[in-house]
Chain A
Amino acid sequence: MPLDLAQCLGLAVCLGTLLGLCPAACRAAPLQLRDDLGREVRLAGPPQRIISLLPSLTETVCALGACDRLVATDRFSDFPAAVAALPKAGGLDDAEVELIVGLKPDLVLLSRSQRITDRLGELGIAAFALNSARYADIARDVTLLGTILGVPDRAAALNENIQTAVQAIGTQAREHAHGRSASVYFEVDRAPYAAGPSSFIGELLTRLGTHNIVTADLGEFPKLNPEYVVRHDPDVIFIAAADAAHLADRPGWSEIRAVKERRLCSFARDVDDMIVRPGPRVPAGMQALADCLARVSP
């Protein structure tokens, strides 16, 4: 098959590039990975200017020792302290595209949000979408980010640490419960939305040896009929501090064991962040859940 002039030239340029004309920055092997939106994302090498639009991803990047590669985060990222001083590029659904483009990032990390991903794609900015809703996503995200950042060994070590800690906390909690399994209700907000056993928080609660009153078939965060909670009469209720005081005012709720005996768990905002963010601080969040359970469980 004869090659035309343009193809020949292209080939020559490619060969030239491979044969050492390339500067130091692209010496690392190019990466091609599939993200959670199912897109093939190509990276010339480990990115050096990263914007993270999700707190859990920010925390993971920093836990992998790449905090100094972040040039901006979303407005909710507040840990570790080093990221507080970075420019804030809005939230996931109202990201400030102009600010992002101005910072010339070579990679934007975000969760599965089609609109912003499409917009960044149009503007020629590489974006990598990571789904981090389940417990299993934590280890997978850490591994993926390790590959992207070029620090696979650190990622493996971090995963090892998280897994060991989570297992230890789970074992300790179950030992402390002496075979009893407290029934729990985790209220996400006062609608009431509950955390089901298949949600990230639900998985942590199961690992702590508790029994979630919400069944798995209801989904991750079902909006419950409040009557459901009364009928299932949980031993312990996890609830926002502001709502805890008014539980007995809800019709019929004063009859719930957890309400009658004040077996309630509420957390300060910084602790709450550790519990709800599927990132490297999950052992600390789980420990907070375990401590409260040990304190109030029957």
Chain B
Amino acid sequence: MQDKINQRTDYRAPFLLRRLQEDPRSQGMALISPTFFYLIVFMILPLVLVVILSLLTRGPYGNVVYRLNLQNYSRLMDSLYLRILWYSLEVAALTSVFTILIGYPLAYYIARAPRNQRSLLLFLILVPFWTNFIIRIYAWIMILRTQGLLNTLLLNLGIIKIPLEMLYTPTAVLIGMVYEFLPFMVLPLYTSLEKIENAQMEAAADLGARPWQVFLRVTFPLSIPGMIAGSILVFIPAMGMFVVPDLMGGAKTILVGNLIRNQFLTARDWPFGSAASMLLLVLTLVVTLLYTRKAGFGEELLV
């Protein structure tokens, strides 16, 4: 048996090698194959398993019963879970809106700065983004805590008499999320603003448009692709986020991400957690498609 296999590989090797040297198509396939197989095994296959798992049921001891049904999905339609889902959508949408409000003027400022300063200004936006995101959350916990910086400051100034409860509120979650994802918005916005030709703005001005009209009718519409790309880059991670609610939201704020995590690690209902994951995945894909249908997948998404 062993001899046979050896013979066969001996026989085929020179042929394969020859093909690899002469045929560019085989060369391309040889180069892509490690990535292809790696991602099939460690990304696609796991996802397929989750799809299958979502169609099974949890047994009485946290085990999995192999019987196909849609029970988990109908359970997700319970008002309790729908409310969590809606709340997650709300938080993700609000995060996108606030990052636009804060990030737009900033991106505009950088796009208008002297050419040699632009990369430094962008670099400065990115530096905190390279530090660990839990550290960034911690910085805000330190500020918002009951014995935190903000309360200490306000008490010392005599503005308040008793410390405010700022941490462990929905607002705290939003503050954390916005701070976390701001760079994702500023970068694509900058890219699209930077590309706008000066001639277009000058033409509008020559034709009698006032500066604010130039902005509203020329600059703003041309920056929409960047805004869409930024919104996707903020929305997707915000939808699945469970760390910020965990650390800043207290027990009341549960997002889909927390729901999924809990099903897998505390409730041990993997099939139900899988169904919730599929719902999250489909939702983010739908939102992404809706966003991109108007703009098309721009290169802004890939900065």
Whether chains A and B associate is no
Q: Chain A residues in contact with chain B, CB under 8 A?
A: none
- B-to-A contact residues, CB < 8 Å: none
